[in-house]
A = this chain, B = another copy of it.
Amino acid sequence: MFRNQMPRYEVLSEDAMATLDTGWRRLMTEIGVEFMDDRALALFREAGQKVEDNKVFLDPDFVLEQVAKAPSEFDIQARNPANSVHIGGDSMAFGAVYGPPFVREGDVRRDGTMEDFKNFARLAQSFGALDSAGGVVNEPNDTPLDSRHLDMTLALQTLTDKIYMGNVVSGVNAADTIAMTEILFGSLEAIEQTPATISLINCNSPLRWDDRMLEAQFEYTSANQPVVLTPFILMGAMSPVTIPAALVQQITEALSGIALSQLIRPGAPVVFGSFLSNIDMQSGSPTFGTPESGLGLLCTGQIARHFDLPFRTGGGLTSSQVPDAQAGYEALMTLMPTFLAGANWVMHAAGWLEGGLVAGFEKFIIDIELVQMLQHEFTPLEIDEDSMAFGAHEEVGHGGHFLGAMHTMERFRTCFYRPLLSSSENYERWMRNGAKDTAARASEIWKKRLEEYVEPELDPAVREELEAYVNRRRTELGD
Residue ranges of A at the interface with B (Cβ–Cβ < 8 Å): 6-7, 9-12, 16, 19-20, 23, 26-27, 30-34, 54-55, 109, 204, 206-208, 235-245, 248-249, 278, 280-292, 294-295, 299, 319-333, 336, 340, 354-355, 357, 366, 369-370, 373-374, 376-377, 380-384, 387-390, 392-394, 396-403, 405, 407-408, 411-413, 415-419, 421-427, 430, 435, 437-439, 442
Contact = CB atoms under 8 A, between A and B. Distances in A.
Given A324-B325, A388-B245, A416-B292, A240 B402 contact: yes
Contact of A401 (B237, B294, B369, B418): B237
Contact of A291 (B278, B282, B396, B417): B417
A292 B328 CA distance: 19
Given A376-B291, A408-B236, A329 B383 contact: no
B9 A236 contact: no
Contacts of A7: 9-11
10 A-B pairs with least C-beta separation: A328-B328, A325-B328, A291-B377, A240-B389, A328-B329, A245-B389, A291-B376, A319-B424, A208-B399, A241-B415
A362 B469 CA distance: 55
18 contacts: A236-B403, A241-B389, A241-B411, A242-B387, A245-B389, A283-B424, A284-B403, A285-B425, A290-B417, A291-B373, A291-B374, A321-B435, A324-B325, A325-B438, A325-B442, A328-B328, A336-B336, A357-B427
A228 to B, nearest CB: 20
A295 B6 CA distance: 11
A11 to B, nearest CB: 6
Contacts of A405: 240
Given A19-B383, A283-B425, 5 more contacts: A9-B9, A34-B398, A207-B393, A241-B408, A278-B416
Contacts of A417: 290-292
Contacts of A370: 329
A283 to B, nearest CB: 7
A88 to B, nearest CB: 22
Given A329-B331, A417-B292, A241 B412 contact: yes
Contact of A281 (B204, B287, B328, B416): B416
Nearest to A323: B325
A312 B424 CA distance: 24
B400 A206 contact: yes
A376 B278 CA distance: 14
Contact of A285 (B249, B389, B426): B426
Nearest to A16: B383
B425 A237 contact: no
A118 B33 CA distance: 59
A338 to B, nearest CB: 12
B55 A321 contact: no
Contacts of A248: 388
A9 B341 CA distance: 11
A405 B295 CA distance: 23
B412 A206 contact: no
A210 B427 CA distance: 29
A17 to B, nearest CB: 9
Nearest to A9: B9
Nearest to A329: B328
Contacts of A319: 422-424
Contacts of A10: 7
A294 B286 CA distance: 30
Nearest to A17: B383
A369 B327 CA distance: 13
A188 B467 CA distance: 86
A437 B376 contact: no
Contact of A424 (B280, B427, B439): B280
Nearest to A363: B325
A287 B400 contact: no
Nearest to A409: B241
